[in-house]
Amino acid sequence: MAAPWAELAAIVGSDHLRAATPADAVDGVPAQMVIKPASADELARALRVANAAGLSVIPRGGGTKLGWGNPPRRADLILSTARLDRVLEHAWGDMTATVQAGCTVEHFQRILAEHRQRLALDALWPERATIGGMLAANDSGALRVRFGALRDLIIGITLALPDGTLAKSGGKVVKNVAGYDLPKLATGSLGTLGVITEAVFRLYPLPRDVCSMSLTAASTDTLCQIVLAVQDSRLAFTGLQLRAESEGAPQLDVRFEGTTAGIQAQVNQLLQLAKHATQVDIPPNAPDIWKAREALWTGTEPALIAKFGVLPSQLSSFCGLVARVAQPLGVTWRLVGQGFGVGFLRLEAQREQNEAALVSAVGSLASELEQLGGTLVVVHCPPAMKVGFDVWGSSGDAQPLMLRVKEQLDPAGTLNPGRFIGGI
């Protein structure tokens, strides 16, 4: 084994460094080797060796979001966090917990539930998604409307920087990176600044009871008006989700948590606000409706899935825009949006291999949204489609600042080269 592979094998043991297979490719870009450190220290040492050798490094957790972002320019070494999978501390009295990056979201929630607590988010594919990957992709879900986004839930982090430094923010400090709020900086950075090894979260109690209501109306405009009314009310909802598509009636889901009596009072108030809905019911498969985002990843191909962001007052206009753009191109669509204006959109070409229609549709939508001050980021599409456009869209005037931060923390461009906004 030629250096630096021999040096890397000495750090983790030869059983935990292997040749990559086609299944390890990242967005069609083949990798050379896969390494699985057993601790934050091993990970940092391996990262330092790779950085010094000029290797590109792709951090990987459960692999659920490896297709997000642009294809990497190179993928020399896949750095897996699979062996960093423990819940290190659950301070249930303080309602905080420290967890390693490779722990799955589902396992973490199961440990917290032993003391009737939870991490207040509903991530995509929790049985496979890891804490580190969820943070890197900034995946919060519908509970965000009540408890805030991931940046509001994380209170400490440990990052392995490319030079081998273990930088901590929150708790006992090994080394701080002066001037940076590491938890917020790492969240949503897609592993381009450092490799998350541990995170500390604030927790919330599990609810006594949960009730989900589904409202149906003849138009998305009617439901979006109800969304605004619910947001302006005193309702303490923990989920507000619009489901719409090119065929079929749109639906609005509202979730309440608390005591039985408290939830009933909330439901009664919702019924007063939902007078223009054609149907209001409690769905028999209530937990499943909150997995509507995951369902967007099923369907016919070719397809494109994008994450959008608009003002809550623009959600109805956005649905109308999608319909106007998609129909002339022969593109069908499904949309899951949260009440705060963030959501996911699936576009499907009705004719096989008609990827040009998808590219045209997403280009038109991104252009229109940019003029409105919104955003559109493609998170899933055939790799070949990414050659023609940047999945992140415009970064506006933030690009120079992002580049300076990248140059400070990863000057050699070791981590996920080219995958982030503007090819960072």
**Segment 338-380, tens digit of pLDDT:** 878 899 999 998 766 688 899 899 999 999 998 888 999 999 9
> Is residue 49 scored above 80 in pLDDT?
yes
What is the structure's pLDDT at 339?
A: 77
Q: How far apart are CA 17 and CA 32, in angstroms?
A: 11
The pLDDT of residue 345: 97
pLDDT digits (tens, 9 = 90+) for 75-92: 999 999 999 999 999 999
H/E run at residue 134: helix 131-137
Mean pLDDT of 96-107: 98
**Rounded Cα–Cα distance for residues 304 and 342 (Å):** 17
Which single residue is written with the structure tokens 């001050």?
Answer: 373
- Tell me yes or no: is domain 293-397 CATH 3.30.420.40: no
Question: Is residue 174's pLDDT more than 50?
Answer: no
CATH code for 5-82? 3.30.43.10
Instruction: Specify the 3-state DSSP secondary structure of 62.
Output: coil
pLDDT tens for 285-338 read 878 899 999 999 999 888 999 999 999 999 999 999 999 999 999 999 999 998
Quote the tokens at residue 169.
Answer: 């923010």
Torsions phi, psi of 201, nearest 5?
Answer: -120, 150
Do 209-287 and 293-397 share a fold? yes
In the predicted structure, residue 416 carries a pLDDT above the cut 80: yes
Q: What is the pLDDT of residue 24?
A: 97
Q: What is the mean pLDDT of residues 272-285?
A: 87
Question: Which pTM value belongs to this model?
Answer: 0.93
Centroid of chain to Cα 18 = 28
Q: Provide the pLDDT for residue 171.
A: 52
125 and 152 Cβ atoms separated by less than 8 Å: no
Residue 162 pLDDT more than 80?
A: yes
CA distance 220 to 216: 9
What residue segments make up the domains of the chain, in order of their start? 5-82, 87-205, 209-287, 293-397
Query: Which three-class secondary structure state does DSSP give residue 261?
Result: helix
Closest CA to 100 of 134, 140, 139, 125: 134
Residues contacting residue 14 through CB under 8 Å, at least 6 positions apart: none
| Contact by Cβ (8 Å): 200, 155 | yes
Q: Is the dihedral of CA 158, 78, 137, 206 positive or negative?
A: negative
DSSP lists the bridge partners of residue 253 as 214, 241
Q: Rounded to whole angstroms, how far apart are CA atoms 368 and 385?
A: 20
Q: In this prediction, what percent of the chain has a pLDDT beyond 70?
A: 96
Chosen CATH of 209-287 out of 3.30.70.260, 3.40.30.10, 3.40.50.970, 3.20.20.140: 3.30.70.260
Band the pLDDT of 45: cuts 50, 70, 90: very high
DSSP secondary structure letter of residue 415 = B
Tokens representing 408 are 């400070």
CATH number belonging to domain 87-205: 3.30.465.10
Residue 340, token pair as written in the block: 């705060």
Among 120, 264, 262, CA closest to 202: 120
At residue 1, does pLDDT exceed 60? no
Q: Are 116 and 96 in contact (CB under 8 A)?
A: no
Question: Average per-residue pLDDT in the chain?
Answer: 92
As a whole number, mean pLDDT of residues 414-420 equals 96
Task: List pLDDT tens digits, range 376-399.
Answer: 999 999 888 888 778 998 777 888
Query: Is residue 233 predicted with pLDDT exceeding 80?
Result: yes
pLDDT given at position 315 = 93
